[in-house]
Structure 1
């Protein structure tokens, strides 16, 4: 089952890289979202899929009596989701501003910071 998740992560990373190199702002944002989802899935799978009970300790005990699920990958994925959302919103705002100032969403057609000879 883990091998299937590894293949899915590889597919997401490959698709995200392809979209990010296309030279279009909207495709770049989709590729960034795919990268973020691939990272979340990789973190979650690296923690192992376990079907343990919640990590609760009975009163008077020093450790759980039965196997428990690891909560660290879930906390890391939750943090990564929030950071990925913030990064996506920031990139979307930059893309909107770039489109408004340049009038195009194609990165090759955007002006560079240096003046061109034909300007």
Structure 2
């Protein structure tokens, strides 16, 4: 199971890098979202996908689940949501002001 999720995280990272190298501003936003989702899966995989009891001390339970990866992923989801909303507002405002979302035209390089 960890192997499949590792491959999925790698595919998300590769797709994110491809989108980050594009010239459209909206693709940059999509690339950053995919990159954060790949990081979430990577953190989950590094925490070893194992099943066990909740981390509450009770009698007759020897196998507990580590809560740290879930806490890290939850924090990362909140941060990536804030970054994504900021980038979407920035992309919308840029497209409204300049009538384009092409990075090269925003830089002033219309010939390329």
TM-score normalised over the length of structure 1: 0.84
More helix by share: 2
Match of 1:19 in 2: 19
Would you identify which runs of 4 or more consecutive aligned residues in structure 1 move more than 4 Å?
none
Q: Aligned runs of 1:99-118 on 2, under 5 Å?
A: 99-112=95-108
TM-score normalised over the length of structure 2: 0.89
1:80 Cα shift? 0.4
Return 5+ residue gaps in structure 2 as ranges. none
Match of 2:40 in 1: 40
Return 5+ residue gaps in structure 1 as ranges. none
1:56 Cα shift? 1.1
Q: Distance in 2 between matches of 1:85 and 1:70?
A: 24
What is the SS of the residue equivalent to 1:56? coil
Q: Which has the larger radius of gyration?
A: 1
RMSD between superposed Cα atoms in Å: 1.7
Deviation string 1:20-72 (CA, Å, 9 cap, x unpaired) is: 111101111111110010000000110001111011113xx7xx841100110
Task: Indicate if the aligned counterparts of 1:102 and 1:111 stay in contact, CA closer than 8 A.
Answer: no
